[in-house]
Structure 1
Amino acid sequence: MLNNANNSFTRNFWVDYLRSALTVLVVAHHSALAYTTFAKFDKKTYIFSTHPIVDSQRWVGIDLFQNFNDVFFMSLMFLIGGLFLSKSIDKKGVVNYVRDRIFRLLIPFFFLGTIFMLIAYFPSYYVANNKETGIVVFVYDFFHHQKWPSGPPWFIWVLFLFNLIGIPFQFYFKKLNDKIAVVFDSFGKKPLFFFVVFYLFTWVVFVPLTMLVGPGIWVGYGPFDFQLSRILLYFGYFTIGVLIGNSDFNKGIFSIQSGIVKNWKVWAFGALVTYAVLIRSEEILTKAIADGMLTVLNAHIIYWSVYVASCVLSNLAFLTIFRNFMDMESIGWNLLNENAYLIYLLHYIFVIWIQFCLLSVSASAWSKFLLTFFFAFILSFLVSSFLRKIRLVNKYL
């Protein structure tokens, strides 16, 4: 340990470490997708597959892990992404802030994201086209037939867009800064009320759109893809992050003395229980529809309402656990934090190539998942550490 809790608040170590932990979860999440029981591979258009590489080895336990992550972790990433918008604009000014976002988000997404995804998706092309290795044909197929898939870096361009949209909102929020601070500080004294407000807000920005367009629809142009059913959810959580960031959240809503933070065990237990209910509800609701006890519409409303509860409780659990236990600086966490962004950009290459290399290996799904995750994470970390020796890379990434 390098520092005490009081000194760490100025840098918000717990937020940095939470963001880093979520990056590790992203690596694990993608490492798991080749081994889920619902995985399918589309040889005609591999980008329509559930994952670029699909193994014959499957395990339902990996489904549970993958689905748990999917319920909450990207919404939490966007909430964290909004936390420091206000302070960054105040420190840099609008012009320098936009310039910084272009160099840190848009350019890496557009150029590094494209190069990295070209490397990452080649095994998928190879499998889909009966071991075809023509690079020129692959590149043409990548941009024209597969429509320039963005892969995990989709998050980066959407975050960039939210940052731009957030600028004019921020000037409005500034005028209400004192009132916003009072509201969010008061939530710390009313954890149950905060949960209800957070739940209702999440329900409104997620459930109606999901039921309207379906949960799995992705839209976009070129590499600028996004999941349509979740775009309001992500922007809503980003906005919550911006609003919280306009308050002194380490002394208010996320103070160690806050009722929200003190109840971390409640949120963690609730997250696990609610997720278990969510998984069990699929079978129960399907049977209820078949038996004529529920309409499809009502069953969907119930399912997505439980889904929202799982999302909110998992968000609160991770936020409060890290606020409680990550209030001191750590060398290991600092190293992870320094490399987290490049790990996010790089990991898909190693995940897919390792999964591809393991296709012919006789091993369990669980073993292949662990091998993929371990080596993808280590290799991403090592390459990131090497690239960050380059001055320009270290400055922006």
Structure 2
Amino acid sequence: MQQAPSRTLWIDYLRSFLTVLVVAHHSSLAYTTFASFDKVAYIRSTHPVVDAQRWIGLDIFENFNDVFFMSLMFLIAGLFVIKSIQRKGPGAFIRDRFYRLFIPFLIGGTILNLIAHYPSYVLAHESTGLRAYVEDFFIVEQWPVGPPWFIWVLFVFNIAFAFLYVLFRPKFAAPVNFDSSKYKPGRIVLWWFLFTFALYVPFAFWLGPYKWTGFGPFDFQISRAALYFGYFLLGTWLGKVNFNETMFGSSAPLVRRWPLWLVACGLVYTSLTIASPYLTTLVKTGALTEFQGYFVYFTIYVLSCTFSCIAFMTAFRALAKRHQWAWDSLSDHAYLIYLLHYPFVLWMQYWLLEVPLPAFAKFLITFLTAFVGSYLSGYLLRKIPIVRKYI
């Protein structure tokens, strides 16, 4: 399978891996110990379907993903933006993003979300009336956005950057003499950490770490808006400095130490998991102020995000050296898997509610069903010429 000139094998495989993590992440949310369901308005639930079976191991898995994977997805989305604008021109680039991102968002945010959330309405109201469900979806629940939120936010980031490119075209067009030898691994980790800290911690204190806002389907996590846009811009900068030959070159010092970053990723996240209840106790007993407790937690959180991003990027750069059929096929269908998986997740979680199985078994069944179902659906959709052209 030949790659398009603007594609890079290990980035394709990493993007595909993150898509699988997204499916697994959503598959786990019905079975976490903190899951709760609000029958008055299920939009306020932690997840649209919540099971009585819980397992703390899925808390650890879900929280690990939440720390880094959306930030890394935005970074990856920015890597080839400048080259794409230069190749197509700003106008054609915006038109392409409209068809590739905004149109799928509209479809995913309406038709697919209506299909996905019907079990939630049944659980909340013990009613199966379709007309009442549609009215509730748009009026009471105010159009739950689900996973497509990432797509409309990414569309806005792309459009905003295209306008920046037009305004500062000479600077973006000028070649960059990037000396990767000056960027020692320790220095890269430090700057990456400080960059993430500046983008996340002030906003988490100001707005709260979990606050969402928006109108209709245009919903997003406001406390992470700067973090996500910053990581998207970091991706565009890495693309500008030819990341695949410099900072993330196959023989770059940062990449050669990929096992170290994986170990650090695991150790720091373990520290975050252990620190959370301990810090809560210290705050409750007065040993720490609430500000101090959150400051320590957010600092470890940012360090975990930093090491996780670096660990997965360097590991895939070091290990993804040649084409493999399964990974290539997954890469071809990753975007459609992301778009299509949510209805499979919620309906399977709904069907499994009364099945006497432990939480992990239900999670595994949900994940496999959602992954295979969305993959096969995407495979069939890609046979449609207009879908194959843009997605």
Q: TM-score, normalised by structure 2?
A: 0.96
Whole-angstrom distance in 2 between the partners of 1:181 and 1:33:
46
What is the rounded CA distance, in whole Å, between the counterparts of 1:347 and 1:24 in structure 2?
A: 10
**Residue identity opposite 1:147 in structure 2:** Q
**TM-superposed deviation, 1:370:** 0.4
Counterpart position of 2:286 = 292
- Does structure 2 retain, via aligned residues, the 8 Å contact 1:177–1:247? no
1:356-395 to structure 2, matched below 5 A, reads 356-395=350-389
Q: What residue ranges of structure 2 are gaps of 5+ in the alignment?
A: none
Separation in 2 of the partners of 1:179 and 1:93?
18
Number of equivalenced pairs = 390
| Residue in structure 2 matched with residue 148 of structure 1 by the alignment | 143
Residues in 1 aligned to 2:242 and 2:170: alpha-carbon distance in whole angstroms: 13
Q: What does 1:273-284 correspond to in 2, within 5 Å?
A: 273-284=267-278
- Residue 72 of structure 1 aligns to which amino acid in structure 2? F
The match for 1:95 is 91
Deviations 1:93-135 (A, max 9, x none): 11110000000000110123310000000000010001x1111
Letter in 1 for 2:10: W
- Which runs of structure 2 are paired with 1:119-138 in the superposition (5 Å)? 119-130=115-126, 132-138=127-133
Of the candidates 291, 300, 308, which is equivalent to residue 314 of structure 1?
A: 308
Give the 3-state SS of the residue equivalent to 1:200 in structure 2: helix
C-alpha separation in 2, matches of 1:327 and 1:86: 25
Q: Indicate how the Cα distance of structure 1 residues 244 and 326 shifts in structure 2: closer, same or farther if over 3 A, else same.
A: same
Structure 1, gaps ≥5 residues long: none
Distance apart, 1:293 and its partner CA: 1.7
- Compared with structure 1, are the counterparts of its residues 294 and 16 closer, same or farther at alpha carbon in structure 2 (3 Å cutoff)? same
Query: Displacement, 1:170?
Result: 3.3
Q: 2:162 aligns with which of 127, 144, 167?
A: 167
Tell me how far 1:9 sits from its aligned partner.
8.5
> 1:222 maps to which residue?
216
Distance 1:174 1:379, change over 3 A: farther
Instruction: List per-residue Cα deviations over 1:182-217 (Å, max 9, x = no partner).
Output: 26x346x41100110010010000001011111111
**Matched residue SS, 1:182:** coil
Structure 2 residue identity aligned to 1:296 = E
Q: Amino acid of the residue matched to residue 157 of structure 2? A: F
Counterpart of 2:325, as a letter, is I
Helix, strand or coil at the partner of 2:219: strand
- Counterpart CA distance in 2 for 1:231 and 1:78 is 11
Q: For 1:154-201, what per-residue CA distance to the aligned partner results, in whole angstroms no more than 9, with x for missing partners?
A: 000000000011113335375166675526x346x4110011001001
> What's 1:158 paired with?
153
CA deviations on 1:18-61 (whole Å, 9 max, x unpaired) are 10110000000000000000000000000110001000000000
Identity %: 48
Instruction: Give the equivalent residue in structure 1 for 2:107.
Output: 111
SS at match of 1:219: strand
Separation (CA, whole Å) in 2 of partners of 1:366 and 1:181? 51
Say whether the 8 Å CA contact 2:35–2:46 is kept in structure 1: yes
1:180 and 1:68 map into 2 onto residues whose CA distance is 35
Indicate yes or no: 2:325 matched with 1:334.
no
Q: In 2, are the aligned partners of 1:71 and 1:307 still within 8 Å (CA)?
A: yes
- Which residue identity lines up with residue 395 of structure 1 in the other structure? K
Identify if the C-alpha distance between structure 1 residues 162 and 41 changes in structure 2 by more than 3 Å, giving closer, same or farther: same
Distance 1:10 1:326 in 2: 17
- Tell me which residue corresponds to 2:69: 73
Match of 1:231 among 218, 225, 232: 225
Structure-2 separation of matches of 1:267 and 1:170:
34
CA offset digits 1:70-109 (Å, max 9, x no partner): 0000000000000000010011111110000000000110
1:160, 1:133 → 2: CA distance? 35
Stretch moving more, 165-174 or 345-354: 165-174
Cα separation, partners in 2 of 1:179 and 1:297, compared to 1, 3 Å: farther
The structural deviation recorded for 1:291 is 2.7
Q: Does 1:49 align with 2:45?
A: yes
Residue 195 of structure 2 aligns with which residue?
Answer: 201
Task: Write the distance in 1 (CA, Å) between the matches of 2:172 and 2:149.
Answer: 32
Residue 353 (structure 1) aligned to one of 342, 347, 350: 347
* RMSD, aligned CA: 1.6
User: Taking structure 1 as reference, are residues 179 and 305 closer, same or farther at Cα in structure 2, changes over 3 Å only?
Assistant: farther
Q: Distance in 2 between matches of 1:204 and 1:125?
A: 40
**Shift of residue 259, structure 1, vs aligned partner:** 1.1
